A and B are shown apart, each in its own frame.
Chain A
Amino acid sequence: MRFFDKQNKVIPEGRVEAVDKVTGGGKYAAEYKVDNLCYGILVDSTIPSGSIKNIDLTKAQQVKGVVGFVTHLQKPNVPGFATEDLIKQSRFGLPIFHTDKIYFKGQPIALVIAETLEDATYAATLIEVEYNTASFQVDFDAVHHNIPLQEAGRERGQIDSWRNAPYVIEEEYNIKSEVHNPMEMHATIAEWTGERHLKLYDKTQGVNNVQQVIAPLFNLEKENLEVVSEFVGGGFGSGLRVWPHVLATVMAAKQVSRPVKLMLTRPQMFTGTGYRPASWQKIKLGADASGKFLGIHHQAKNETSLYERFSDQITRVTRLIYNFDNLKTEDALVPLNLSAATWMRGPGDCTGDFAIECAIDELSYKLKMDPVDLRSKNIAATHHPENKLPWSSNYLLECISIGAKHIGWDNRSPMPNSMKDGDWQIGYGMAVGMWNAGRNKTSAAIKMLADGRIIVQTAMTDIGTGTGTGMKNIAHETTGIPQDKITVELGNSSLPPAPSQGGSTGMSSVSGAIVEASNALKLKLAEYAALINIDFRNLSPDAILLSGKGISRKENPNETVTYADLWEQNKLDNVVVEATSGPGEERKKYAFCSSAAHFCQVRVNVKTGKVKIEKLVCIADGGKIVNEKAAANQMSGAAVGGIGMALMEEKLIDAKIGGLIGDDLAGYHFPVNADAPMIDVHFIGKPDPYINPTGAKGLGEVGIIGTAAAIANAIYHATGKRLRNLPITPDTIVG
């Protein structure tokens, strides 16, 4: 448990878990040593629609290392799935092993358990399945036209009032489905430690979420289900849900009465853990001659599975960034024979923002107005345009002006297709992004040991965002206890409860809890100190100073009661405080957002279609930056994700076969090192006054919201070719 606890003084300064990560010592879900472990492999449906007629295990059974199977015909009891009604109530999604129905190609229909990974994998290929096949539809582009739109949120003003606006852009935008593909493939080890006790090592973004989903399915007391997720090899949203393979592993462990480890294969990562759904959008945007926006009509559709409806809420961002007196948003879901979609980094907003920011760019050329000026003119800088609450803080205009300087926007000639270097055409583009800055109720504990060391704890996971390091920094800043006396524990459901790490809420949520716990520690220690020195009675946290040695008062910092004395006089063991912190009244008075401006310089070779991103600048307002290095890393990483979205990422679906092809990391491209320039990141860095005690607003999403539009806009400026569909692969440039 004490895994972030390296005290070697030759180690350079970095993240709390840095040594574990650079030495290979950190344990990801599939890497725990569990006695008597066996291996599970899922077998997938090879058809997209129909039902299972028969599953023949006879050949697979002959593999000597095989220990058992799970199918819909042979499975352990899952009380929470006992009836159709219970399955529905569970809202689990795919009722794995509890149906003979096939909803999509790649649906897990059997699980083989064997002594070795090799034998499990081999035996899985020997299972023979007979199907009743049925008709299917997987082609989003072919069918979305048939699905009617429905109003998405309240209409603002009147669409008719700007029908004859002097400047109108009306265009359609299509974005292919993207897949999270974190580097670590999802994995689970399930170990029944008793009849009613279960331990899961699981790749997830939220251990409490796994606990809440799995425990009721097996009628377990929540505290009897321990979920461990200390190191998480990336998420980007894929770990925000509990996917069928997790339940499958728990069932398998029950079936064979042994711990079972299951790691999805890379192709299974394309159908088993969600994806950003393919989308169609139509934007109608009107402005007057001065560039003031008169209105917007935003329509959007996204694909979804047949067994659950997932809306990506693509038009949400339309209500966030700009002042539109007239606004109408509509959306629709397009159910297909595909696996379930889910949130992926900058969910919905990333998609919607691409269309809006491209349309605005297009409008700027029509108006012969600088895209920077057009945006600056219309940004809702002071108040949330929908609920009219004042922003707690919003520095988007500053982001834009700083970004323009960093990219050298002045070097840009206003006309498209006007900057050339041989066969290369050079272009500049920009876009902005914004995200509702959220905060969730979170608990944290601090345990102080006799020698003055503290352990800061929360159940929240650190998926690479730097949560652990942020926790340490905040505890240090709030208590005054030196960094080298602080260790961090997280990613375990037995620690104080926390929400999932996602939606840029992690730091915003946990930071408040750490501040509260730090203050609680101060008060608790002052209480003990008061028994030695009466001056410590009734102090506020601000008036209390902690150090490596002991406690003192701000008034008189030289007068210290040492921890040794505190412990001795009060006969203390460990001092443990726990605090919970969440949003409150401030949410009624203010609106909260993080924002970013993205600027891009590209070179486009019109002969070969090659697009080279020369510069990418990302200026963000994320409130207080708790850890500059990790925050910059997260922003530049999100920008790399944006490059992928803009130029290469596409889940390929064969409409005739009814499923995915090229579902691996050779067929699905995301950026390699050479695809990204050294990305220039800069923060406004001003703490938000109201969001939480630290003023940190969260950054994970705004780093990617707007990047793809900035790139597409730069390509237009370079070539004069307006490309409204993503990804913009080389063929779309030459074609």
Chain B
Amino acid sequence: MIRVKINPIMAKNEKLSRRFFLKTTGVLTLLAAIPASLKSAYKQVKDFIVIQKKTAPLTISVNKKAYTLDSDTRTTLLDLLRENLALTGTKKGCDHGQCGACTVHVDGERVLSCLTLSAMVSGKEVTTIEGIANDGQLHPMQEAFIVCDGFQCGYCTPGQIMSAIACIKEGHANSVTEIKEHMSGNLCRCGAYNGIVESIQKVATS
């Protein structure tokens, strides 16, 4: 293996890091999951003070219904919907923007609610899976998912449907290949991709 040239200071650091690894016996104290940057900040404060939650006033419209509340600044739009507003149709599949199960529309565009801080959508219009049927009449995409059996376990389905509606609106439903690419931000572990693509084709061509 070829290594790039290391200057003397770096070599010294490298030795330190090796020692870190070799320390496999004896007592090792670790903060459960806190990186050094935070730990050093704590060290500067003699008596450790735990920062308590901060709230921010939030006015938000979800499915055309206005909500005004004080929200923990840490609360994501996903947790706000599921835990605070009892709108559990939006799903948590990874909580890190890696699966698309939490897809909702904000001001008409598909976004990931798990990476959206609720305080940052104040004043915006949020639409979730609970808000697309009209007076009890299912949205055509919901009907298509039923007819084409575009799901199995159903957990990714709300995200798929919200994404599918946007996929057509964005003009990306012109071929199987295009639909597949523009629906690839929504993982389905059951692998119901046949039915998902057929559902979108059905709506796009009707």
Contact = CB atoms under 8 A, between A and B. Distances in A.
Direct interface between A and B, CB < 8 A: yes
Contacts of B155: 28, 182-184, 231, 233-234
A53 B27 contact: yes
A15 B153 CA distance: 11
A63 B50 contact: yes
B72 A118 contact: yes
Given A182-B153, A465-B152, A133 B24 contact: yes
B53 A183 contact: no
B197 A673 contact: yes
B161 interface: yes
B16 interface: no
A591 B53 CA distance: 63
A706 to B, nearest CB: 15
Given A33-B86, A132-B27, A184-B155, A23 B184 contact: no
Interface string B54-95: 000000000000000000101100010011001111111111
A200 interface: no
A21 B154 contact: yes
Nearest to A666: B98
Interface in B96-134: 96, 98-99, 101, 128-130, 133
Interface in A5-61: 8, 10-15, 17-28, 30-31, 33, 43, 46-47, 53, 59
Given A10-B137, A673-B184, A46 B33 contact: yes
Main secondary structure on B side of the interface with A: loop
A19 B137 CA distance: 11
Contacts of B192: 633, 636-637
A118 B183 contact: no
B170 to A, nearest CB: 15
A25 B88 CA distance: 8
Main secondary structure on A side of the interface with B: loop
Interface stretch (A76-84, A121-129, A157-165, A534-542): A121-129
Interface string B17-48: 00001001111111111100000000000001
Given A24-B158, A671-B191, A130 B142 contact: no
A12 B146 contact: yes
Contacts of A266: 93-96, 98
A527 interface: no
B98 A11 contact: no
Interface stretch (A143-151, A214-222, A363-371, A638-646): A638-646
Contacts of B176: 678
Nearest to A236: B189
Interface string A600-634: 00000000000000000000000000000110111
Interface in B156-206: 156-158, 161, 176-177, 179-181, 183-197
B31 A633 contact: no
Given A12-B147, A118-B53, A184-B155, A673 B28 contact: no
B130 to A, nearest CB: 5
A409 B27 CA distance: 63
B11 interface: no
B191 A131 contact: no
Given A131-B28, A183-B99, A678-B197, A63 B191 contact: no
A47 B83 contact: no
A33 B157 CA distance: 21
A22 B187 contact: no
A24 B32 contact: no
Contacts of A134: 25
B189 to A, nearest CB: 5
B186 A673 contact: yes
Given A24-B158, A182-B189, A233 B27 contact: no
Contacts of B181: 673-674
Interface string A148-183: 000000000000000000000000000000001111
Contacts of A182: 153, 155, 189
B21 A656 contact: yes
A637 B161 contact: no
Nearest to B93: A183
Contacts of A17: 154
A290 interface: no
A505 B201 CA distance: 34
B25 A133 contact: yes
A373 B206 CA distance: 45
Nearest to A115: B53
B189 A13 contact: no
B89 A183 contact: no
B7 interface: no
A558 interface: no
A118 B74 contact: yes
A59 B48 contact: yes
Interface in A662-685: 664-666, 670-674, 676, 678-679
B125 to A, nearest CB: 18
Contacts of B136: 8
A387 interface: no
A676 B94 contact: no
Nearest to A58: B48
Given A656-B21, A673-B193, A24 B88 contact: yes
Nearest to B195: A633
A116 interface: yes
B191 A676 contact: yes
A65 B183 contact: no
A133 B28 CA distance: 7
Contact of B157 (A11, A21, A125, A676): A21
B102 to A, nearest CB: 11
Nearest to B194: A636
Contacts of A640: 191, 193
A27 B133 CA distance: 18
Greatest chain B CB density within 10 A among A17, A465, A637, A641 is at: A637
A656 to B, nearest CB: 6
Contacts of B177: 674
B187 A64 contact: no
Contacts of A10: 137-138
Given A46-B30, A62-B50, A633-B194, A181 B147 contact: no
Nearest to A703: B191
A11 B145 CA distance: 11
Contacts of B193: 636, 640, 671, 673, 676, 679
A119 interface: yes
B179 to A, nearest CB: 8
B91 A233 contact: yes
B95 A265 contact: yes
A27 B50 contact: no
A152 to B, nearest CB: 31
B13 interface: no
Contacts of A124: 32-33
Nearest to B99: A665
Contacts of A133: 24-28
Given A31-B88, A183-B188, A638-B191, A666 B151 contact: no
Nearest to B88: A31
A263 interface: yes
Contacts of B186: 673
Contacts of B92: 30, 185, 263
Contact of A19 (B32, B72, B138): B138
Contacts of B74: 118, 122
Given A31-B82, A634-B152, A24 B29 contact: no
A80 to B, nearest CB: 28
B22 to A, nearest CB: 10
A89 interface: no
Given A23-B133, A43-B33, A676-B180, 12 more contacts: A11-B143, A19-B138, A22-B145, A116-B83, A118-B79, A124-B33, A131-B28, A183-B189, A231-B154, A233-B155, A633-B192, A676-B194
21 contacts: A11-B138, A14-B146, A21-B145, A22-B138, A22-B158, A24-B88, A25-B89, A46-B32, A46-B33, A47-B28, A62-B48, A116-B72, A183-B187, A183-B190, A185-B94, A231-B154, A263-B92, A464-B152, A636-B191, A636-B193, A672-B187
